[in-house]
Structure 1
């Protein structure tokens, strides 16, 4: 008998939530077959069967929180040639073939919604939490609708109306004054990590304005050519490239602080993290060795990573190991903000939206495209002057964007 335990996936992960079992008790599996989907604080992970055999017992239910090392199921091992061919599983009332985010599946179970009847509006038609809520609201409206009148028939003459007693006043239904939502999965991980970062790291901030008029013009000229190559080109890859170049020159910001040993750990490779807003909560996807990649390569990789993250399909390796994080507040509409460092990194950069505002250039007031940049940093690692010089270098590369061509 093999006790299959929830493995240690690294990066300090201690627990996960069982999303979906691909087998049931009595099923035979082959080594490497998909066994169970688990949602961790980083991503959704499909754990494969560790051996060929019969699933004797499943010890963790869907929706249950499990700890690293906890036994998930028991498998009676057999030789591969002895395993019977796997019969196609019967379709459940809610089909497992329906593409839905884990949070949406969980909500559907709670509300009794059949996902096979829900139209998905997420990437590639994936069902989101909002899709499930809309389906639940529509079902509630249908249940409250009055029954259809019977077919018309010959009616007798109307009776003389009799005076009726006044109807009793309808009392308003009590409305719940609060709602309690369990904090689990990625939302719980974000809460814990942000609390640790805010309490453990002495945050300091540096603000700067960047005139990106030239960048706006360049991006507009290159946008259609990038689309022809199958890449959606935004401003973020240009910023990422500028940051990666600057981090090579200011490596202390590409580091972390080891509290136990009292050491600053400077990372030799530049792995940029990008905050992505998903239905499950904030996730950070990672573009590795960003300093060695072109703007187009960063754009292509970042687009793919963000799409997988929003669909709940990002792997653990795609969301861990960042050395410096960028959060694009401007994508939603904010002009700026004070970001919390992605623990245990030493710094984070927040980008505001690009605004056309008046600026004095060569003695004349002219409209310019301007973006606010905020760098949050660990004051144990660096001082404000160092961060100011780093930010000035990023500003230089974005205001004279042609210089980035020298680093491709």
Structure 2
């Protein structure tokens, strides 16, 4: 009897994933723990291994399809003697994959009747039932195309008239259409969630980074010995962490369900990395305990891993505040989007030599704009301003 391979609960609040590609074909023999499918979540790409030795008899989720946690990805026919092991594996909370109950034939619903439920013995998950209710579709009138006649989301949408793709738009040779999926789609969802859920407020200031540039020059030789390139970003992070210790409201998040502001006791700083496939935000753990050289090493390690697509899910979760540095690309200043559920994000911009008045004299100084976006539900303008003032003060503390 074939077993359903479900999208497991990967943790970190992940509710769904997009199938990127299958690593084996239908009909292939697989061994336990062989990687079967690559799935993209809003944290990272993960490979789902086979929980049993057997045959991959049918792929249920195609590349580009978004699957919710607990929904089936494929059917696996276990080898002889593997069924008991498969059932044990599905009950193990530590396994990175999840195997559901055996796929049933029509009329062989679960003993509890939960899968059939109210709807004339129709095989459908609770998610599909809710979708049918929302769209006004009678499940009993839908022909299921899933295993054992199970009704899928696509079946319900098709019955509601929402499943048919729209006709191809005009345009022809004058335009190119690129599928909106993968990391781009995940990024889009996060951006929409951030801008619709969180009332953003923006604060902009400037800092004299002449002293930091001088300090960086002094550390370059040490950096070469340590095998790391010293940029301005670790100095900015040191200033940010120092300011967060004095202004904990910025190192926080809002638990909307419990209606509580969560003040973080650790300083795990996210850093936005621009990659060919889109923006990713790996996290530097315990940034307050790291020196400039140690921060530079971690920045370099995570940046390389991000651009190579080798970040682990743990590298992309649990941030308490984010710093984005786009100065090397350009732009005077920006309005960064908060990395929800964090309370704020700071953007550092390009360094420009400008004439400034110091002690009554006009002198050339290296200046940088800083922009702070913050969640106005939990941070007031005064608190945000005092925080940014402290960041600027710390940046300029070593200015000559």
Which range moves more in the overlay, 53-62 or 260-269? 53-62
| Secondary structure of 1:209 counterpart | strand
Matched, 1:258 2:284: no
CA distance in 2, matches of 1:72, 1:398: 51
Deviations 1:120-154 (A, max 9, x none): xxxxxxxxxxxxxxxxxxxxxxxxxxxxxxxxxxx
Identify the residue that residue 48 of structure 1 maps to in structure 2. Answer: 49
Aligned counterpart, 1:189: 186
Q: Partner of 1:252: helix, strand, or coil?
A: helix
Which secondary structure does the structure 1 equivalent of 2:281 belong to? strand
Residue 252 of structure 1 deviates from its aligned partner by: 0.7
| Post-superposition offset of 1:309 | 1.5
Q: CA deviation at 1:79?
A: 7.7
1:383 aligns with 2:384: no
Q: 1:42 to 1:216 in 2, by over 3 A?
A: same
Which of 365, 368, 388 aligns to 1:368? It is: 365
SS in 2 for 1:360: strand
Contact 2:39 / 2:46 at 8 angstroms: preserved in 1? yes
1:269 aligns with 2:266: yes
Superposed displacement of residue 78, structure 1 = 4.3
Which residue does the alignment assign to 1:84?
none
**Contact in 1 for aligned 2:353/2:364 (Cα 8 Å):** yes
CA RMSD of aligned residues (A): 2.3
**Structure 2: runs of 5+ lacking an equivalent:** 83-170
Q: 1:373 to 1:79 in 2, by over 3 A?
A: farther
* Higher Rg: 1
2 CA distance for matches of 1:57 and 1:181? 28
Q: How does 1:212-231 map to 2 (within 5 A)?
A: 212-231=209-228
Q: What SS does the corresponding residue of 1:349 show, helix, strand or coil?
A: strand
Q: Does 1:340 align with 2:337?
A: yes
- TM-score, length of structure 2 as denominator length: 0.72
Larger displacement relative to structure 2 (177-186 or 288-297): 177-186
State the shift of 1:215 in Å. 0.5
Partners of 2:351 and 2:366 within 8 A in 1: yes
1:249 to partner: Cα distance: 1.6
Q: CA deviation at 1:349?
A: 0.4
* Cα distance, 1:26 vs structure 2: 3.9
Deviation at 1:243, TM superposition (A): 0.9
Alignment CA distance shift 1:63-1:263 (3 Å):
closer
1:97-118 residue CA offsets vs partner (Å, 9 max, x unmatched): xxxxxxxxxxxxxxxxxxxxxx
Task: Give the alignment of 1:291-370 within 5 angstroms.
Answer: 291-370=288-367
Partner residue, 1:58: 59
* 3-state SS of paired residue (1:331): coil
Deviation at 1:178, TM superposition (A): 4.2
Matched residue SS, 2:241: helix
How far off is 1:224 after superposition? Answer: 3.1
Report how far residue 176 of structure 1 moved.
Answer: 3.7
Higher alpha-carbon deviation: 282-291 or 180-189: 180-189
The 2-side partners of 1:242 and 1:301 are apart by 17
Deviation at 1:338, TM superposition (A): 1.1
Aligned length: 310
Alignment gaps of 5+ in structure 1: 82-173, 403-408
TM-score calculated relative to the size of structure 1: 0.70
Once the 2 structures are TM-superposed, how far is the Cα of residue 182 of structure 1 from its aligned partner?
3.0
Say if 2:282 is the partner of 1:247. Answer: no
Give 2:102's aligned residue: none
